[in-house]
Amino acid sequence: MTTDPLHETEIARTLHRCAVVGMPWISLDKRFVRRLVDEGYDEVTILGQGDWDSFDPNRPGITDGFPIDQAERFAEMAHAAGLRVKVFTGYIKYQERILQSDPSRALIRLDPAEMLDSDGVTSNWLCPFQPRNLEDYRNYLKKICRWPGLVEIFLNDEASLGAATNIGCYCQYCSGRFEERTGRPPPRRIDWDSDLWWQWIEYRMDEWTDLHARLRARVRQLLPEVTVSIQHSPLPAVFEINPWKSAVNLGRDARTLDSLCVDPYHQNHCNRIAYRPHRRILAEAARSLIGACLDKPASVMPQAFMPPGRSADLTRQDGLLAGVVPYALGAATIAPYQYHLGTIIPGFNEGLLETRKLQPQFARHEPYAFATVIAPIQSEIFGYPELDWSSRYLTHFADLMYRMGVPWRWFWDDRLYDQADALTGPLIVPDAHCLTRPQIESIRAVADRGEGVIWIGNTPDQAWSGRGPCRPPAKLEFGDIELELDRAHAIHDGLTGPVMLRTHVASAGPDNRSGEVLGTVDGRPGLVLFESGAGREAWLTGVPAFDYVQKSDHSAVRTPASGRELFQRLLLWVADRPPLARLDPFPAPNAYGRLRAWDTRDVPTIELLPMASPDSILATIFHYAPVACETRLLIAPPDGRSVGRAVELWHDVDVTEQFGQDGAGHACLPLDVPGDSELLSILIDLA
């Protein structure tokens, strides 16, 4: 990920196309392996069968995966064909047969009701900590480590220690271990005023991290070069579960492991994930995972299967989505799940194969982000544990950023521990009050370099110790809150509607800092600007609303409001440089909105996913839903450079002559995107 392409040297990213392969009865065939090579795959991920028994011929098809002996034979074939070999090893999921014979090996949750998978199917899991379970799993890993060509092992596929508030593990072994440490059995009643409850919550998260660190160390002892990862459910990546429940904190996992993977099945998971249009579920989960991984490679597993009873139809456009969007956002690997199921979807595989023509350009460019947003996961765990805070707050925030037309990225707060040097501005710090002293200093360093910071809502009133609760300094409220702009300033000059906020805090803003108060809420400062020789900062009391619905109207009726536009202007004002590439106007006026200007369900249908190299910009614009729209691509070349030749690569059209200049010194390309457009990928040479 780059925020400053001028300082890069030549870029050569290694990108991988991975075929996820199960179904040994059709896969164990050299001709099939050759087909994968012919289709441009350089990797396979072998699906383990899940349980550790040999394949049961009396129950064929109970899982897609390979029994271990057949998996090894497939690994040999793939390796002989020059493919890198990866493996999904499962662990606590898919062990129903073991649990039937010995229920004491199960993960025990607060509520004995069955665990729900992110697909809404039920499954019962093993306790990950019991020595017998671990011993069996280690032995299984040891066998896998003999395979030829093995480059990556995914541990504990889609696992977690809880869903909703139904947390574990309360098995006899886990309860005993906690009691040894604290003298008390693990508490069963949620009590945020209890030290014991907090000890239990932190203990579970620590044990989860430690378990995978130990498993990684074990594998690396045997195979020092092998990458050890986890393939996570999309729920942590899209902020739909508080990490105190799941024990999964992607930032922490990224620090512990070599790589992470996520499987955001945009049609299968759409009842749990609110991003729209549906294909954005893939984009937002990928953006978030990459914001946790930072320096570690990220793999994205797009949906390439279509259970007729579960998924809306996938089409050629979903094949294009799988082959374009993850790479453009910074993923190193795409691994559509799964190969054989993708080939029976009309058009899907053809689209996926066609995206190979863009892959060399994706490898030559780094994803470019203008704005960086701190993902305040510590604040969620230690400040707002009672609420489904991030599913209300951070998903709204991602939806707001999507409507800004500027490229942006997440930066998970946990990575401030080890990746602070990669933090850049303009930086947005949304209600991240729970930060340690070094973390606060890394954010201050961005401000001191003059790159621009926007603080929103609660800010750290004192440094957090790194353990235990961290109550928000002021109460955060959700609602329709109007920011009264009472002082003239170019930032809000000409805004036509009221500035509505989705949240606000009952606070006067950052302590001990005097700035220019531009707006108020209930008589308290609501928008404050800080300008010094070092640069610009701003504080906003809450997150702007991008849609405002008056209480008297039905909930799809939008009243024009200006929160989004104010926020966009504020971002450009604090920044010390313009975005290298952006879309303007944005949201792009579209055919649906021209007929139904009032409809809040009219969401933007295209996204600019730019990449940069020292000599060029690759501006990919993906069409998430088939609606015609018009906008402009604005390019602000770095100082001393200008736009040279430009070619739209997807349709192979030279667009150099279509570039003009706007009044502000941008090179601008008018875009008239028809409803049936698939994508645009414009390669712009910098002269």
Which lies closer to Zn ion via its Cβ, residue 174 or residue 635? 174
Which lies closer to Zn ion via its Cβ, residue 104 or residue 271? 104
Report the alpha-carbon distance of residue 447 to residue 450 in Å, rounded.
5
Q: Strand (E) positions, 8-147?
A: 16-21, 43-47, 84-88
**Any idea of the CA torsion for 304, 307, 313, 316, to the nearest 10 degrees?**
30
The least CB distance from residue 231 to Zn ion, in Å, is 22
CA 523 to chain centre: 37
The least CB distance from residue 134 to Zn ion, in Å, is 11
* DSSP label at residue 490: G
The least CB distance from residue 172 to Zn ion, in Å, is 8
Report the alpha-carbon distance of residue 103 to residue 215 in Å, rounded.
24
In this structure, what are the phi and psi dihedrals at residue 327, rounded to the nearest 5 degrees? -65, -45
CA separation (Å) from 386 to 430, 471, 475, 478, 573?
A: 19, 11, 13, 15, 36
Which lies closer to Zn ion via its Cβ, residue 169 or residue 285? 169
Report the alpha-carbon distance of residue 326 to residue 609 in Å, rounded.
10
Report the alpha-carbon distance of residue 477 to residue 488 in Å, rounded.
27
Report the alpha-carbon distance of residue 498 to residue 485 in Å, rounded.
9
The least CB distance from residue 176 to Zn ion, in Å, is 9
The least CB distance from residue 188 to Zn ion, in Å, is 14
34: its two tokens? 């050759």
Report the alpha-carbon distance of residue 527 to residue 630 in Å, rounded.
32
Which lies closer to Zn ion via its Cβ, residue 169 or residue 241? 169
Which lies closer to Zn ion via its Cβ, residue 75 or residue 127? 127
Which lies closer to Zn ion via its Cβ, residue 174 or residue 669? 174
- CB neighbour class for 92 (10 Å; exposed up to 12, middle 13-18, buried from 19): buried
Do the beta carbons of residue 545 and residue 588 sit within 8 Å? Answer: no
The least CB distance from residue 451 to Zn ion, in Å, is 46
Report the alpha-carbon distance of residue 128 to residue 599 in Å, rounded.
48
The least CB distance from residue 106 to Zn ion, in Å, is 8
Count other Cβ atoms within 10 Å, centred on residue 152. Answer: 23
Report the alpha-carbon distance of residue 466 to residue 368 in Å, rounded.
32
Which lies closer to Zn ion via its Cβ, residue 111 or residue 448? 111
Closest alpha carbon to 424 in 407, 399, 405:
407
Which lies closer to Zn ion via its Cβ, residue 201 or residue 629? 201
Closest alpha carbon to 477 in 434, 507, 519:
507
Which residues lie near Zn ion (CB under 5 A)? 127, 169, 171, 174
The least CB distance from residue 174 to Zn ion, in Å, is 3
Which lies closer to Zn ion via its Cβ, residue 105 or residue 296? 105
417: its two tokens? 């521990």
The least CB distance from residue 103 to Zn ion, in Å, is 12
Which lies closer to Zn ion via its Cβ, residue 174 or residue 324? 174
Which lies closer to Zn ion via its Cβ, residue 169 or residue 394? 169
The least CB distance from residue 637 to Zn ion, in Å, is 57
Characterize the bridge pairing of strands 43-47 and 84-88: parallel
What is residue 477's three-state secondary structure?
strand
The least CB distance from residue 382 to Zn ion, in Å, is 24
